[in-house]
Structures are given as C-alpha cells and as structure tokens.
C-alpha cells in the first residue's frame, strides 16, 4: 500500500467507491477540499497503482474536520483506513488545529475512540418532502453584510470561524437570512439539503424552515442533519412530518469546543464537515 496526496484526478475513483456505498457526494466538494486544505487529503493505492481508499480533512480557524474516509470493500481489515485517518489527524494537528471533529458510524466509532475522540452528540438525518409553493426565498442583504451575518451566527453554534466552508456552501446554494438565523438550500443530486442552518432562537429557526420548504416542490426529497440534543429542531421537524432515516456520532478530540447545539439546526454535511 502506498499513501499519496489526494489529487483532483482521483475524484472520479472516490465517487465510484462512494456510489457503491450509497453515499451522496459530488465533484464540487473535492474541488473545494483539495483547494482549501490539500495537505490533509490522502489516497491509498495498491501495488498496481489503483486507488483503494481515501480520506479528506478541512482546517477552520482553531478547529478542523476529518471526513470522507472510505476503503474499498475488498481491502478492509488491513489497517488502511486507520493509516489514512492518522495522516489527516496529524496534518490537522501540525497545522495548529486545537479541536478536531468528525462524525462516526457505529462501526467506525471504536477506531476514533482509540485515538482520543469522544462523543459529544448524535447527528440525526431527517428526510421529508418540499411543500411545493415555489415561492422564491427572501433575498439576503448585500453580499458583504450577508457573509458577516452568516459567519457571526455560525460562530455562536460552533465556537469557531468557518468562513471558507460557509462561503462555498452559500455560493452554490440559496441563502435565507434573518437577523438571528440563516439557512442554506443546497442541491444534492435529485434531492436538496438544508444546511448549514443555524438560528439563535427557535422562532427564527421555524420561520426559516417553513420558508425553505415552500420553495421546494412536493415531489422533491429534502434532507437535513441535525444534532439530537437540539430539542427544538426535533420538535419542528416532527411537526413537518419529516422522518428519521439514519444517525451518526459527532465526536471530537483535543480542546473541548464551545459547542452550542441549541443554535444548530442543520449541518453543512459535505464530507462530514460540520
């Protein structure tokens, strides 16, 4: 096994592996990750040079995320995933990340716990349908003002500046912005994803959620990944007849983050980047 940097030319191979696992991933995500933090993204190759496994990571202000860890089914159980994970973990630590995040499946949790990661929450995937009224979302303010507002609100939830991630998701999606909350509607294949989505009060969150649902046709699938400890999110999503379709553990290592899940209604999700 050879571990090398994940390059743009490897994206198609990753997408093939992801498709076999039923993951939702698109090329734009890797264009962003490989430009934002290339030193933390890796690919494993066999003796023939074929890509068999991948991992990505992303550095924020004081924190970082590890995501997109995938190993081809016939290559599992050989320590390849752990080796890739350690490369990204060390790259983030070397870059000065004080807190490192990831989301873990049940099968992956023991690996991360072995390396000092602790569970801080559960992330629940909610799936539903749009409301089909086709009303355009309320426009954001001027672009500079919108970026400042989104960053400030997001900081209250995560305790860190994540401006690069916010810029790319807002740039490819549609932004709904209020004084105390924002929601990004992102295309995701034939479906749409709501996130990142943060609000400093539950009334604003409810208004944003309803406004977003009204822009989506009733035939279109909507999904959203919300922390289980946000009880208002659970209430709002149940009331709108969204259903739980999966979950993962939200874990961190390093300095305990200033994490405020009561302000967080939807993760950006891409590559498990929060």
Is 105 a domain residue? no
- Do 261 and 212 lie in one domain? The reply is yes
CA 191 to chain centre: 16
Question: Mind giving me the DSSP string for 205-242?
Answer: HHHHHHHHHHTS-TTSEEEEEEETT-HHHHHHHHHTT-
Q: Which among 49, 82, 97 is the end of a domain? A: 97
**pTM, entire model:** 0.93
Measured at the alpha carbon of residue 93, what is the angle toward residues 92 and 96, in degrees to the nearest 5? Answer: 90
User: Residue 31 in 3-state DSSP?
Assistant: helix
CA 134 to chain centre: 26
pLDDT of residue 199 exceeding 80, the answer is yes
- Do 148 and 59 lie in one domain? The reply is no
Q: What is the pLDDT of residues 66-123, one digit of tens each?
A: 999 999 999 999 999 999 999 999 999 999 999 999 999 888 899 999 999 999 999 9
Q: Give which of 224, 24, 262 is closest to 121, Cα–Cα.
A: 262
Is 117 a domain residue? no
Structural domain total, the chain:
2
CATH number assigned to the domain comprising residue 242: 3.40.630.90
- Do 76 and 172 lie in one domain? The reply is no
- Do 268 and 154 lie in one domain? The reply is yes
Is 29 a domain residue? yes
- Do 38 and 149 lie in one domain? The reply is no
Q: What is the pLDDT of residues 218-253, one digit of tens each?
A: 999 999 999 999 999 999 999 999 999 999 999 999
Is 119 a domain residue? no
Which range marks the domain in which residue 36 is found?
Answer: 2-97
Residue with tokens 């983030």: 92
- Do 53 and 145 lie in one domain? The reply is no
User: By the 8 A CB rule, do 146 and 140 touch?
Assistant: yes
Give the list of residues 6+ apart from residue 79 with CB closer than 8 angstroms, or none. Answer: none
User: By the 8 A CB rule, do 259 and 159 touch?
Assistant: yes
Q: What is the pLDDT of residues 40-75, one digit of tens each?
A: 999 999 999 999 999 999 999 999 999 999 999 999
Residues 227-261, buried b or exposed e (16+ Cβ, 10 A)? Answer: beebebbbebbeebebeeeeebbbbbbbeebebbb
Give the count of alpha carbons within 13 A of 216, CB side only: 26
Q: What is the pLDDT of residue 143?
A: 57
- Do 141 and 267 lie in one domain? The reply is yes
């Amino acid at each position: 096994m050879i571990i090398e940097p994940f390059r743009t030319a490897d994206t198609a191979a990753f997408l093939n592996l992801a498709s076999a696992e039923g993951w939702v991933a698109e090329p734009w995500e890797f264009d962003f990750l490989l430009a934002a933090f290339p030193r933390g993204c890796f690919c494993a190759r066999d003796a023939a040079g074929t890509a068999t496994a991948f991992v990505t990571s992303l550095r924020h202000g004081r924190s970082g995320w590890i995501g997109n860890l995938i190993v081809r089914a016939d290559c599992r159980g050989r320590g390849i995933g752990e080796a890739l994970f350690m490369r990204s973990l060390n790259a983030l630590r070397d870059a000065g990340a004080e807190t490192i995040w990831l989301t873990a499946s049940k099968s992956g949790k023991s690996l991360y716990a072995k390396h000092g990661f602790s569970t801080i929450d559960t992330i629940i995937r909610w799936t539903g349908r749009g409301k089909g009224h086709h009303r355009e979302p309320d426009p954001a303010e001027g672009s500079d003002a919108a970026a400042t507002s989104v960053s400030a609100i997001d900081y209250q939830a995560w305790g860190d500046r994540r401006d690069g991630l916010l810029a790319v998701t807002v740039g490819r999606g549609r932004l709904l912005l209020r004084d105390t909350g924002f929601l990004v509607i992102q295309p995701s294949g034939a479906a749409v994803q709501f996130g990142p989505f943060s609000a400093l009060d539950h009334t604003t969150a409810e208004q944003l959620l309803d406004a977003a649902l009204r822009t989506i046709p009733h035939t279109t699938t909507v999904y959203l990944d919300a922390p289980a400890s946000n009880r208002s999110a659970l209430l709002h999503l149940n009331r709108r007849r969204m259903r739980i379709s999966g979950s993962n553990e939200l874990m961190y290592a390093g300095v305990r983050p200033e994490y405020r899940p009561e302000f967080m209604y939807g993760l950006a999700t891409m590559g498990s980047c929060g």
